[in-house]
Amino acid sequence: MNKFLLEVKNLVTSFSIRGGLLAREIGRVHAVNDVTFSIKKGETLGLVGESGCGKTTLGRTILRLIEPSSGSIIFDGKDITSISREEMRAYRRKMQIIFQDPYASLNPRMTVANILSEPLIVHQLFTGKEERKKRLLDLLDYVRLPKDALNKYPHEFSGGQRQRISIARALAVGPEFIICDEPVSALDVSVQAQVVNLLMDLQKDLGLTYLFIAHDLKVVEYISRRVAVMYLGKVVEIACAAELYGSCRHPYTRALFSAIPNPDPTIKKERILLEGDIPSPINPPSGCYFHPRCFNASEQCSKLYPPVTLESQTHEYSCFHPVPPSC
């Protein structure tokens, strides 16, 4: 029995850029550029990064909502990278996704009952009328929504409640792995905490494994066991949450933590301000992608992409001039 539920190896997802008279391919943008990591059963891997880092594309590629260009995705020991659509459908029962926008992720013309029944209909589960009704009520219970929600439409609910409906939909087929793509970013602060708690409880009760994608480092740290930091399509550092937050080594990670405004006015920390903007993934810098903005960069950094350094068994990063440990 494989202890890794998901393994991603050298995954690349690229899109072609078309231009010219006949819309020929004039370039490729590597949204996900050679990413490797694994997630153990029951674990939560957090994935953070800013715009253009490829975290959302990575999430969707794992589910094959976007087709990978190369590399492999191994789920529970089976390579699902290029299996057929019919074979993939069986895996869709085991891997689900929750999206960021609570308003766009539910079909406005379907009742909650219909929305939750969709996955059951597609996979032909709980086919009996009574059985199905019970399953729907159980799902509402899991996400702490009342029974009368079944006949209502999405526009009658608040953002937090809609997110709960999305979670219930993801749980309908009894998945093992859920990709949470910025599930709380669009919610109010007090509601975020409720949904984070819900996700944590569900993980404990149902033995779920999560890939938690977010840009809010505080939330990611709270819910994840390990965290990977992405920049322009590559994972620049990956470590246990405590290691990352306590002793990160990559300059970008350090700058990221430094940039988070602290909800404590007494702490006046020295802010590392990065120069310039996040470059576009269409034309990444040569060598290490971060070197134009890096405060530790040298000549070497502009020529070669740094290889992976193992800081410990659970901590790796790609940098020629890492910062000394202590965030």
Partner 1 sequence: MQQPSLPQSTEDRILQVKGLQVKFSTEHGPVTAVQGVDFSVYRGKTIGIVGESGSGKSVSALAIMRLIPNPPGQVTAGEILYHGKDLLKASNQEMKAIRGNKISMIFQEPMTSLNPVFTIGNQIQEVLSLHQREFSKKDKIEKSIEMLKLVGIPSPEKRILDYPHQLSGGMRQRVMIAMALSCRPEILIADEPTTALDVTIQAQILELMKKLQQEFKMGIIMITHDLGVVAETCDQVAVMYCGRIVESSPVREIFANPIHPYTKGLLESIPSYDSTTGQDKNRLPTIEGMVPSLHNLPPGCNFQDRCAYAKDVCFGGQGGPPLVVNELDPRRKVACFYPLPYKEVAKS
Partner 2 sequence: MVSSSEVSVTPGQESKSLWAHAWATLLKDKMAIVCFLVVLLYCLVALFSGLGLLASDWSKEVCSSFAAPQEDCWLGADIFGRSVIQKTIKGTEVAMSVGFIAGGISIVLGVFLGAVSGYFGGLIDELIVWFYTTVSSIPNIMLLLAITFIMGKGLLAVYLALGLTSWVGLCRLIRGEVIKHKNREYVQSARAIGCSHFRRLFIHILPNVLHLVIVNFSLQFQYAIKSEVILSYLGLGVQGRPSWGTMIDDAKLELTRGIWWQLLAATLAMFFIVLAFNILGDSLRDALDPKLKGK
Long-range contact set of residues 84-93: C-beta below 8 Å, sequence gap at least 24: 88/64, 89/122, 89/123, 92/63, 92/123, 92/173, 93/123, 93/173, 93/174, 93/175
The 8-class DSSP code of residue 2 comes to: -
For the chain, the 3-state helix, strand and coil shares in percent, each to the nearest 5, are: 35, 25, 40
Compare residues 88 and 193 and give the one whose CB is closer to partner 1.
193
Q: What is each CA distance from 311 to 117, 187, 260, 315, 317, in whole angstroms?
A: 47, 36, 24, 5, 8
Report phi then psi at 98, rounded to 5: -120, 130
Q: Are 172 and 137 in contact (CB under 8 A)?
A: no
Question: Applying CB under 8 A, does 24 fall inside the site for partner 2?
Answer: no
Question: Applying CB under 8 A, does 146 fall inside the site for partner 2?
Answer: yes
Q: For tokens 């969709």, name the residue.
A: 118
Q: Give the one residue of 9, 93, 215, 225 binding partner 2; rule: CB under 8 A.
A: 93
The stretch near partner 1 (CB under 8 A) out of 29-37, 93-101, 217-225, 300-308 is: 217-225
End-to-end CA distance of the chain: 37
Report phi then psi at 187, rounded to 5: -105, 155
Residue 144 binding: pick among partner 2, partner 1, none (C-beta 5-8 Å cut-off by kind): partner 2
Q: How far is the CB of 284 from partner 2 (least distance, A)?
A: 25
Q: Give the one residue of 38, 72, 111, 302 binding partner 2; rule: CB under 8 A.
A: 111
Residue 137 binding: pick among partner 2, partner 1, none (C-beta 5-8 Å cut-off by kind): none
Enumerate residues 29-48 that contact partner 1 by CB under 8 A: 43-44, 46
- The whole-angstrom separation of Cα 173 and Cα 163 is 17
Residue 240 binding: pick among partner 1, partner 2, none (C-beta 5-8 Å cut-off by kind): partner 1
Question: Applying CB under 8 A, does 213 fall inside the site for partner 1?
Answer: no
Q: Give the one residue of 16, 70, 151, 197 binding partner 1; rule: CB under 8 A.
A: 197
Q: Give the one residue of 144, 218, 269, 303 binding partner 2; rule: CB under 8 A.
A: 144
The secondary structure of 199-264 as a DSSP string is: HHHHHHHHT-EEEEEES-HHHHHHH-SEEEEEETTEEEEEEEHHHHHHH--SHHHHHHHHHSPPS-
Compare residues 143 and 239 and give the one whose CB is closer to partner 2.
143
Q: Give the one residue of 66, 215, 302, 311 binding partner 1; rule: CB under 8 A.
A: 215
Binding residues vs partner 1 (CB under 8 A): 43-44, 46, 50-51, 158-161, 188-194, 196-197, 200-201, 215, 217-225, 227, 240-242, 245-246, 255-256, 258-266, 271, 273-274, 276-278
Binding residues vs partner 2 (CB under 8 A): 60, 63, 65, 88-89, 92-93, 95-97, 99-101, 103-111, 118-119, 122-123, 144-146, 148-149, 151-153, 155-158, 161, 166, 169, 173, 194
